[in-house]
Amino acid sequence: MHSHTLPQRHALTIALLAAAAVAGSPAMAKEVTDADIVNDAKTPGDVVSFGLGTQGQRFSPLTAVNAKTVKNLVPVWSMSFGGEKQRGQESQPVIHDGKMYVTASYSRLFAIDAASGKKLWKYEHRLPDGIMPCCDVINRGAALYGNLVIFGTLDAQLVALNKETGKVVWKEKLGDYAAGYSYTAAPIIVKGKVITGVSGGEFGIVGRMDARDALTGKMVWTRPTVEGHMGYLWDKEGNKVENGITGTTNASWTGDLWETGGAATWNGATYDPDTNLIFAGTGNPAPWNSHLRPGDNLYSSSTVAIDPDTGKIAWHYQNTPHDGWDFDGVNEFVSFDYKGKDGKIVKAGGKADRNGFFFVNDRTNGKLLNAFPFVNKITWATGIDLKTGRPNYIEEGRPGDPSADADGKKGKVVFSAPSFLGGKNQQQMAYSPQTGLFYVPANEWAMDIWNEPVSYKKGAAYLGAGFTIKALNDDYIGTMRAFDPTTGKMVWEHKNYAPLWGGALTTAGNLVFYGTPEGFLKALDAKTGKELWKFQTGTGIVAPPVTWEQDGEQYVGVVSGWGGAVPLWGGDVAKRVNYLEQGGSVWVFKLHKG
């Protein structure tokens, strides 16, 4: 009897081990590869990059949920982030191997079973006192690579966790939080490197992009985004080697203000494998008071294209030279095939800038191909000159110089549109190769803005400006707009009473999904803008939706939780949103089969 038991037990052990492996035990977990990331847009069974593909189009080829069936979309599960730490939730979930990884306010990260909503683990970063995030305690998401999930924190650290267990594998410092550095963007992975920027432009930090080995956290290169600062490369032995000064010192900044020049890369980046370039948007030059820093102030309020192998800037395009309105230029640069007016297809990128203009650049060299307004009211420029690529400024639209004032305390107040919160801000647009349209969550608002004297002090706000935000229309601020990038024409719009602050998703099912601060996740017809479906999540949505396929069914997911920059600013806008309640949940939907 005993002689038979051992082989049977041995066979049972093998069977159990095999079952455990199939079930995805930590030892046998599926790793995320470079190929998975590059092909993300074409593989609807997962979402392994910010933007549903490194190019940032936020387009899904899935068609089960479509203009005809979307009326049958129902909730499958909802999971609360819990605790007292609600605040704004701007995270885009990533999904791999049946698991969802989603970040939350105050630098938290959750792993969830994507089909059932069961919480698998959570990581809560211990934040020090004295952090200085500019615009709420948000986070926009994590990156996946190998067996790691990687995200940045409000005290400017980058943390890599084992994606099965939530245990810390490595942790690296991005900047000194006491000097105003923080981090809120979703990192991206390019050729095994984790690519990050920095936040803190309101504190006179120096913007830059970094590349680290994604598996170890070791530095590969760093590239500043303010003229005059040195870039560095790290050799195989870990030695730091100078990699060239960014720009020519004092060519576009007079004096020494470039040393605390801002140009924060706070909204992350996109990557285009066709051209092998990383595209990062840069923020406002510091301080806001433009009279203190004559010149273009490179590379602030720009798009910079960076070689991922060397960290060198391949090209740049400045959307707002000598920015005096805090327009930033951090808005995502989305790669797409542009059909020019001559009918030729060009490798291009689109950017709906905070300054109110939509820019189309050749992504191989930065040449401006088209530029047009995507909001109705712009007071700082009459347009963008397509030959020179520069704005046609309206000089009286620039806030006045305080030193010209009799007591030197306050420059001339100007009414300016858009407001510094932008024609579009962090809320991500989407592009459909099917319709050829960009779907832009836009806002129509303005501000009174004035300049004040200011000097740099480490860790102190470095603005030199005051402002009040104003609504331009009684019936709406936010509006989802569809634009043809070739003609610059708006094809349709769908207005919203409160500002739009959540991103868009478009699908081959002829749909555009997006959320509103009033709490609705909505689906519109991608060709006509007609509202086809909506669901009330119970708190405002300021995050981008995602969609994926699992076990033969299409899922749609979104994080809800009102917050972000909008409720922090006063004026007319505060009156429109101060009744909205905070929250913090993930919602997941699929088609009801009945």
Active site residue 326: yes
- 331, with CB counted inside 10 A (0-12, 13-18, 19+), is buried
If we measure between CA atoms, which residue out of 346, 341, 339 comes closest to residue 366?
346
CA distance 368 to 361: 4
Cβ-proximal residues to 249 (8 Å cutoff; 6+ apart), any chain: 227, 228, 258
CA distance 268 to 282: 9
Cβ-proximal residues to 126 (8 Å cutoff; 6+ apart), any chain: none
Residue with token string 């999930």: 149
Strand-pair category, 478-483 with 465-471 = unpaired
If we measure between CA atoms, which residue out of 514, 481, 505 comes closest to residue 495?
481
Per DSSP (E only), the strands in 444-530 are 445-451, 465-471, 478-483, 490-496, 504-507, 511-515, 520-525
Which of 40, 46, 296, 326 is labelled catalytic?
326
CA distance 166 to 454: 44
CA distance 420 to 400: 16
CA distance 30 to 27: 9
CA distance 561 to 557: 14
The answer for 96, left when phi > 0, alpha when psi is -120 to 50, beta otherwise, is beta
Tell me which DSSP letter residue 184 carries: -
Tell me which DSSP letter residue 367 carries: -
Size (the chain), residues:
594
Report how far apart the first and last C-alpha atoms of the chain are (Å, whole number): 54
Residue with token string 């390019």: 190
Tell me which DSSP letter residue 5 carries: H
Residue with token string 């203000």: 257
If we measure between CA atoms, which residue out of 408, 404, 407, 453 comes closest to residue 289?
453
CB atoms under 10 Å from CB of 503, counted, come to: 29
CA distance 299 to 353: 15
Identify the helix (H) or strand (E) that includes residue 566: none
- Tell me which residues are annotated as active site: 326
